[in-house]
Amino acid sequence: MIAGGGMGGCAAAIAALRNGLHVIMTEETDWIGGQLTQQGVSCPDEHPWIESFGATRSYLDLRIAIREYYIRNYPLTDTAKAAKNLNPGSGAVSRLCHEPRVAVAVLYNMLSSYLGAGKLTLLLQHKIISADTSGDKVKALKARCLQTGNEIVLSAPYFIDATELGDLLPLTQTEYVTGAESRRDTHELHASEKADPSNNQAFTCCFAMDYLPGENHIIDRPKDYEFWQKLIPAMAPAWPGKLLSLYYSSPSTLQPKALGFDPTGKPTDKALNLWNYRRIIDKNNFDAGFYRGDITIVNWPQNDYFLHNIIDANESDFNRFVEQGKQLSLSLFYWLQTEAPRADGGQGWPGLRLRPDVLGTTDGLAKYPYIRESRRINPVFRVLEEHVGKENRELVAGSKNGTKAADFFDSVGTGYYHIDLHPGTGGNNYIDFGSLPFQIPLGALLPQRVQNLIPANKNIGTTHITNGCYRLHPVEWNIGESAGMLIAYSLTKKMQPHAVRANRKTLEDFQQFIRSQGIATQWPEEIYRG
């Protein structure tokens, strides 16, 4: 049974299903796909080698299928259709910027045969509300339909927590941590001096917009606009002025940095044009007139919500904080329409238009906030900065061996991204620094005590710091796929997941099992040769 239909949940389901298991998967929203779809982050954060390797075979298949969907169903120009690696939005942040609903369609295609055969039961708009446990085992979960209020008890030999915030952990009494660990605890270079369980990364209520020159689509002034218009974030190191502006703290240096904004797509001097940053539709990739304008996703520093922590908040506070995050995003949109500085000396772009249809909502905002940090299990093995952080690794391994991330004997996947922490609810600014291409250790997927609950999202055994490079799209997919295969292997061998890792011969057999299905456990040597 899988709770959460995000990237980790979908990957876990696909892995379990192709290995002969029956799967029940719940999802709170009416879209599967998590950060790639329901959260609006459809410009996936990936590494430089993603077109060739560095992700599981099924993740690379997902990317290919998204491109093929556009080729089959959209009136692409001949140039776009012939492109080696089509990027529908030509966005700057990713090699594959696309519409969220296209990813939804592709994910359903990957699952459709199992749905048709009754091997997958998909319960959309269902939230897990309680758990039945006995000793170190989870026996059953209770889910509530958010539409009808009806409740259903779901029993299974194994459970996967692929929720966005690690919701099963408190319900099943699985030991977990939240927020920032202390340097005394982890010995990480970039850890806080003092632990702060309430200090978690900002979430973002993403939205989609296009631009229609000469038209007026100015929305009603958001009710909290005055607050957000005036807000100067209280952070250390200091944020450079008002949040609603075209300045932010450079993540790597924390120095003030100018951004640009021009919805015509024109260059904005030396500054990044935010319009092009997460653009998901570039009208020039399609037949003339098919799109009235480009479409872009707004997931920017200016709409990161960091005032309150939503992890372990009660339902009332959670909803209140998310509503405040929505007000921030709507205020940013209104500011862009009415006050954003223009190169011609004017203010605002009234032709900006919210696109609720792109995100499948009525308010123009994503179905669910973009979550960067979750509850994290107390694992059998915890990934620390010294394992994957470039500077910290060299300190512990030396100048020769420190050029590679730690080699985990129990690796069940690979990933790479710089360690990227957005401003936190504890008042810190960005934490952003280099990492090394890393492995995913099986020990980080195993709770210390509970035997039949496996995490498959951002709830694995990382720290506040290392979460910053394990939280991205291809890594979350790899984690979920390895979790699904771990359960399939455990059931076939009639042994517990912890026992798979504990026996070196069995572990090696499991690693060969996942490699045979397209999950690399090591990086190829070619990445180290420049």
Report the distance separating Cα 320 and Cα 318, nearest Å: 5
Cβ atoms of 192 and 400 within 8 Å: the answer is: no
| Same domain flag for 54 and 160 | yes
| Same domain flag for 289 and 398 | no
Q: Sign of the CA dihedral 85, 102, 165, 298?
A: positive
- Taking alpha carbons only, the member of 169, 200, 201 closest to residue 379 is 169
Q: Quick: pLDDT tens for 9-30.
A: 999 999 999 999 999 999 999 9
- Interval 514-522 mean pLDDT: 98
Is residue 529 scored above 90 in pLDDT? no
- Taking alpha carbons only, the member of 134, 136, 130 closest to residue 174 is 136
CB under 8 Å, gap of 24 or more: what pairs does 233-239 form? 233/306, 233/423, 234/427, 235/423, 235/427, 235/428, 235/429, 236/427, 236/428, 236/429, 237/429, 238/429, 239/423, 239/429
| Same domain flag for 215 and 76 | no
- Interval 260-287 mean pLDDT: 96
What's the pLDDT at 372?
Answer: 98
Q: Quick: pLDDT tens for 307-356.
A: 999 999 999 999 999 999 999 999 999 999 999 999 999 999 999 999 99
Is residue 530 scored above 70 in pLDDT? no
| Same domain flag for 338 and 423 | no
Report the distance separating Cα 212 and Cα 227, nearest Å: 28
Report the distance separating Cα 103 and Cα 499, nearest Å: 36
**Total of domains in the chain:** 2
- Interval 251-271 mean pLDDT: 95
Q: Quick: pLDDT tens for 416-439.
A: 999 999 999 999 999 999 999 999
Report the distance separating Cα 477 and Cα 41, nearest Å: 14
| Same domain flag for 157 and 246 | no
| Same domain flag for 150 and 23 | yes
Considering 300, 324, 359, which residue would you say is the last residue of a domain? Answer: 359
Is 263 inside any structural domain?
yes
| Same domain flag for 46 and 175 | yes
Residue 352 makes CB contacts below 8 A (sequence gap 6+) with 209, 210, 211, 217, 263, 333, 336, 337
Is 398 inside any structural domain?
yes
Token digits of residue 275: 């319009």
- Taking alpha carbons only, the member of 192, 416, 420, 197 closest to residue 301 is 420
Is 196 inside any structural domain?
no
Is 366 inside any structural domain?
no
| Same domain flag for 281 and 354 | yes
DSSP string, 99-156: -HHHHHHHHHHHHHHHHHTTSEEEEETEEEEEEEEETTEEEEEEEEETTT--EEEEE-
Considering 307, 337, 359, which residue would you say is the last residue of a domain? Answer: 359
What's the pLDDT at 528?
Answer: 83
Is 76 inside any structural domain?
yes
Rounded percentage of the chain residues whose pLDDT exceeds 70: 100
| Same domain flag for 454 and 497 | yes
What's the pLDDT at 316?
Answer: 98
Q: Quick: pLDDT tens for 359-399.
A: 999 999 999 999 999 999 999 999 999 999 999 999 999 98
Report the distance separating Cα 104 and Cα 462, nearest Å: 28
Cα–Cα–Cα angle for 303, 268, 301, rounded to 5 degrees: 15
Q: Quick: pLDDT tens for 46-90.
A: 999 999 999 999 999 999 999 999 999 999 999 999 999 999 999
| CATH number of the domain to which 80 belongs | 3.50.50.60
| Same domain flag for 306 and 354 | yes
Is 43 inside any structural domain?
yes
Structural domain of 303: 203-359
**Helical pair 7-18 and 100-116, crossing angle rounded to 10 deg:** 30
Considering 328, 359, 390, which residue would you say is the last residue of a domain? Answer: 359
Task: Name the CA radius of gyration of the chain, rounded.
Answer: 22
Is 428 inside any structural domain?
yes
Neighbours of 102 (CB within 10 A): 21
Q: Quick: pLDDT tens for 228-254.
A: 999 999 999 999 999 999 999 999 999
Residue with tokens 């979750």: 374
Is 190 inside any structural domain?
no
| Same domain flag for 262 and 306 | yes
Provide the mean pLDDT of the chain. Answer: 97
| Same domain flag for 348 and 386 | no
